Amino acid sequence: MEEQNIKRTDVNELGEFGLIEHITKYFIDIQDSTIKGIGDDAAVIFEPELATVVSTDMLVEGIHFDLMYSPLKHLGYKAIVVNLSDIYAMNAVPTQVTVSVAISNRFSVESMDELYAGMLAACEFYKVDLVGGDTTSSPKGMILSVTAIGHAKKEDIVYRNTAKPGDIICVSGDLGAAYIGLQILEREKQLFLSNPDLKTDLEDQEYIIGRQLKPEARWDIVKAFKSAGLIPTSMIDISDGLASEIFHICKQSKVGAVIEESKIPLHPDTETMALKFQIDPVTCALNGGEDYELLFTIDPSDLGKVRTMDDIFIIGDIVEAEQGIKLKTTGGNFHTIKAQGWKHF
């Protein structure tokens, strides 16, 4: 957290132009398609023949993140990653990002350094160029807005509205951990607020807390699709929970779905901690969100290709719209799945 820094330089000492220069100096453009990065009225990208995909997200302090338990470096990393996840969800490869940051005067130059160090780490790992943005002040708190840009062959792009009855529903990774991670962090925050001298021990919860604070986007799955010559029939990333995402696919594709409860992938730590919190682990997977895994459907003829890939789980089937969107429980019952989404308002 920024309070831990010993040195505190007021952003006014640098001014707007100085601050931009200071925080962007470590960013080096590596993509061939980046013709002009930071420093003009607009960035210039040239990638002839490929289609451009664009996604944007706004993250607001007190709504999407809490700086009491989100280190600024992790926050910077996550802000980039959640946007890249949307690009991968189109079966495209991210190449550029723009980042806008508004900060109140409680943030120092050193805290901006932390935030941008996290963004730089994400840009380097995912090989994307930071090509533009805006830095301004806010009357209260921090607001981040990231726009991610990627490229793909037009015919390789995968949408949400193209699933068809008979398709097989797949998901990558495991679900629900990010939500349980948030519950742990919220609990620790309350404990800390009630007694600041309490020492917290989060060591054996590394996996689930990492899923909340420093998620990764599934570049490896999109790469595996390419290697296997597989194009999913529809795809979406899991930011709001499995229930919301399957609902989006079904609504836009005008189909129904049956998801088997027993096949939803859960990490053992998620199950253990969910039970400690007296929450059904499947509910975490369905309605938790922030897992940034990929939910996709494939034609049954592609089943062989998926079976050879790591970390992909078959969880159900696309059916006719009239059959609705159902969860088949381990007991054999059918429950209607409802989109929850985030209730920010």
Nearest to 143, CA basis, from 57, 58, 55, 84 = 58
From the list 39, 268, 300, 304, which residue makes contact with a copy of itself (rule: CB under 8 A)? 39
Angle between helices 268-276 and 177-194 (to 10 degrees): 40
Q: Which of 22, 73, 74, 160 binds a copy of itself (CB under 8 A)?
A: 160
Of 71-79, 129-137, 216-224, 314-322, the segment contacting a copy of itself by CB under 8 A is 129-137
Taken in order 57, 58, 63, 69, the sign of the CA dihedral is positive
User: Distance between CA 131 and CA 40 in Å, rounded?
Assistant: 10
Site size with a copy of itself, rule: CB under 8 A = 75
State the CB neighbour count (10 A cutoff) for residue 328: 17
Region for residue 44 given its phi and psi (left: phi exceeds 0; alpha: psi -120 to 50; beta: otherwise): beta
Euclidean distance between CA atoms 37 and 131, whole angstroms: 4
**Span interacting with a copy of itself, options 100-108, 119-127, 174-182, 325-333, rule CB under 8 A:** 100-108
Q: Residue 327, SS3?
A: strand
Token output for 214: 């420093």
Q: Does 271 bind a copy of itself (CB under 8 A)?
A: no
Residues 181-240 close enough to bind a copy of itself by CB under 8 A: 235-237
- Least distance (Å) from a copy of itself to the CB of residue 202? 27
Contact positions with a copy of itself (CB under 8 A) in 294-313:
none
Determine the Cα–Cα distance for residues 184 and 178; give it in Å rounded to an integer: 10
Residue 159 exposed, middle or buried by CB count within 10 Å (0-12, 13-18, 19+): middle
* In the complex, least distance from residue 92 CB atom to a copy of itself, rounded to whole angstroms: 7
Q: Which is nearer to a copy of itself, 137 or 308 (CB)?
A: 137
DSSP at 104: -
CB of 276 vs a copy of itself, minimal distance in Å: 30
Decide: is 63 part of the binding site for a copy of itself (CB under 8 A). Answer: yes
- State which residue, 124 or 134, has the beta carbon closest to a copy of itself: 134
Single residue of 75, 87, 209, 250 touching a copy of itself by CB under 8 A: 87
Question: Residue 183 CB, nearest distance to a copy of itself (Å)?
Answer: 21
| Interaction of residue 9 with a copy of itself, rule CB under 8 A | no
- CB of residue 196 vs a copy of itself: minimum separation in angstroms? 23
In this complex, which beta carbon is closest to a copy of itself, that of residue 44 or of residue 303?
A: 44
Give the HSE-up count for residue 4: Cα atoms under 13 Å, Cβ half-sphere. Answer: 8
Under the binding rule (CB under 8 A), the answer on residue 291 touching a copy of itself is no
Which of 5, 9, 26, 52 touches a copy of itself by CB under 8 A?
52
Residue 321, class by beta-carbon neighbours within 10 Å (0-12 exposed, 13-18 middle, 19+ buried)?
Answer: middle
In the complex, minimum distance from the CB of residue 292 to a copy of itself, in angstroms, rounded to a whole number:
11
